[in-house]
Amino acid sequence: MNYQDFYQASIQDPVSFWDQQAQLISWHKPYTQVLDHSKPPFAKWFVGGETNLCYNAIDRWLETQSDKAALIAISTETNSEKTYSFAELHVEVQRMAAMMLDLGVKKGDRVLIYMPMIAEAAFAMLACARIGAVHSVVFGGFASKSLATRIDDAKPVLVVSADAGMRGGKAVPYKPLLDEAIQLAEHKPAKVLLVNRGLDAMNLVDGRDVDYAALREQHMNAQVPVTWLESNEMSYVLYTSGTTGKPKGVQRDVGGYAVALASSMKNIFCGNAGETYFATSDIGWVVGHSYIVYGPLIAGMATIMYEGTPIRPDAGVWWSIVEKYKVTRMFSAPTAVRVLKKHPVELMKKYDISSLKALYLAGEPLDETTSNWIATELGAPIIDNYWQTETGWPILSVARGVEHKDTRLGSPGIAMYGYNVTIINEATGAVCGPNEKGVVAIKGPLPPGCMQTVYGDDQRFVQTYWTNFAHEQLYSTFDWGIRDADGYFFILGRTDDVINVAGHRLGTREIEESISSHPQISEVAVVGIEDKLKGQAAVAFAIIKNPDRAATRELAKALEAEVMAVVDKQLGAVARPSRVYFVAMLPKTRSGKLLRRSIQAVCEGRDAGDLTTIEDPLSLQQIKNALQA
């Protein structure tokens, strides 16, 4: 089918379009209305229909492929691998569901999951879905204060956690962080269910803490029926950073999410039942929800849950997994690819990765150098995609399950079906023409699977996302972008990462792209720092391919001048950074996102904030050292 026709059908007649897509999942009770958009910007999908995420992920496959692999839990940290068939996963999830019911969890109650990437974390999410509880997964290792704010907002009756996770061969204790978070929080969860991995000593709190293994023994033969939920009831709350400091709880429904995932697995990710999917993210992020736990299982695929890094025990580990489990579709981030690029390519070449049909990359802009390298070495299509915690599935990509459409370097793709994406001039509210920079926005209603609201705060949902343009109620992505004449979008960075230099608004991403084009630069972060004369000044921190090029002050100055000349030529003198510092590493979260605000804070002599999610704390010291050199 022609993708343009497919897309237009989704925009012009969303009711008929999504009615058809809804047939990809199982409904216990048919819906009476496809879309209720009577109170914009709020949208209700498949009104009156009853379904269940756990049923669609597990139960409906029991008749046709109960013995096929469903969940493959791999930890290169503890050197363990275990495969659960759909039948075995069904049994484990029922056990977990029975344990939750035993601990007082009821339909609609919140369960906070603070877990490493182990099978029990997936059991917990699916068990919540099965009994109609609302899970809120918090990234494992989040600081106590951050965790406490989420506990106070979600008010969980139960927390599911573990003694520790592991990263880089070192245990990361969770229990002390959780204990402190509960102490800090005003809301006190009644029960804490703890998986003891034997990685760190745990002191159980009498009356509150429950040992997972002991309680599981009491429910080995549990049979817990599915709780059918109306399509618009809550499935989960996932917190994302807010500009006010208070995290935003992205609230998602059941039916719309199930349909969006089933549809995207077919049309975007081209996944087929019986195949294997490997997403290298974490369940603490939206990719982990959509494309580790729910999406692949809804598509009848085996999904790999991986605890470890891309380079332990060596940089061939991911490709050994691809070979062993015949992975057909893989999802990762550009940062991970850049890490692998630093290691011998022979580590990839030693494995048979011919099963891999495509590698999908998201989470940050994909630069041309990284894309070309991995495409050449992998010999498989590289497909970029762009989306947000708020949307739950891709806004921009190419839907090769509908039509084989070419990718375009530097672009995450074209608008995906259901998303009426436009570029808006921030000052005038007018729709931008081809290659004219503006804010990426989406006309309502948002398609199924997107956030319903901010949990517990409808007003914040409207105020934050739908009131940013004077002339029309549009959803703001808070990203700058352009769209070329062929409909391909290019993301230029966050609107809140804009630098205002003497009245000129400059996107950090644009300057970073320019600096990255210098042959000696492998990675760069640009931030705006306070400047008494110009308001702000752009400062760059770059990693160079050959450290000898900046081994002395004279060589560093010469390279800095070269980099500035590149920016001058490509963007003009106004975009030239005031300084380019050379460092060995940049501060990032464990999911690979640059911590620009922390870099900015260090540059301005301010507190760098909560650094518990930082991959390597030494990276901020590198920034300080560079500034003082």
Instruction: Tell me what pLDDT residue 569 has.
Output: 79
Cα dihedral 152, 154, 157, 163 sign: negative
Identify which of 606, 604, 593 has the alpha carbon closest to the alpha carbon of residue 619: 593
Instruction: Tell me what pLDDT residue 510 has.
Output: 78
pLDDT at 426 > cutoff 90: no
Distance CA 242, CA 226 (A): 35
Distance CA 604, CA 132 (A): 47
- Fold for the domain defined by 502-628: GMP Synthetase; Chain A, domain 3 (3.30.300)
pLDDT in tens, 402-411: 999 999 988 9
Distances in whole angstroms, Cα of residue 464 to Cα of each of 339, 418, 473 = 35, 22, 12
Q: What is the mean pLDDT of residues 375-395?
A: 95
- The domain segmentation of the chain, as residue ranges, is 3-308+385-465, 502-628
pLDDT in tens, 448-495: 999 999 999 999 999 999 999 988 999 999 888 999 999 999 998 777
* DSSP states along 131-189: HT-EEEE--TT--HHHHHHHHHHH--SEEEEESEEEETTEEEE-HHHHHHHHHH-SS--
- Which helix (H) or strand (E) segment is 351 a member of? none
Identify which of 561, 413, 445 has the alpha carbon closest to the alpha carbon of residue 46: 445
Give the CATH number of domain 3-308+385-465: 3.40.50.12780
Cα dihedral 389, 395, 396, 400 sign: positive
Q: How far apart are the first and last CA of the chain?
A: 60
Residues 6+ apart with CB under 8 A from 170: none
- Strand duo 110-114 + 358-361: pairing: unpaired
Distance CA 49, CA 96 (A): 26
pLDDT at 505 > cutoff 70: no
How high is the mean pLDDT of the chain? 93
Q: What is the mean pLDDT of residues 132-155?
A: 90
**Packed helices 3-12 and 14-21: angle between N→C axes, nearest 10 degrees:** 110
Instruction: Tell me what pLDDT residue 305 has.
Output: 98
Residue 410 burial (10 A CB sphere; 0-12, 13-18, 19+): middle
Q: Which DSSP category does 588 fall into?
A: B
- Supply the pTM of this predicted model: 0.86
pLDDT band of residue 496 (cuts 50, 70, 90) is: low
Instruction: Tell me what pLDDT residue 613 has.
Output: 62
Q: What percent of the chain has pLDDT over 70?
A: 96
pLDDT at 239 > cutoff 80: yes
**More confident: 259 or 598:** 259
Instruction: Tell me what pLDDT residue 513 has.
Output: 85
pLDDT band of residue 181 (cuts 50, 70, 90) is: very high
pLDDT in tens, 26-67: 999 999 999 999 999 999 999 999 999 999 999 999 999 999
Q: What is the mean pLDDT of residues 260-288?
A: 97
pLDDT at 573 > cutoff 90: no
Instruction: Tell me what pLDDT residue 506 has.
Output: 74
pLDDT at 294 > cutoff 90: yes
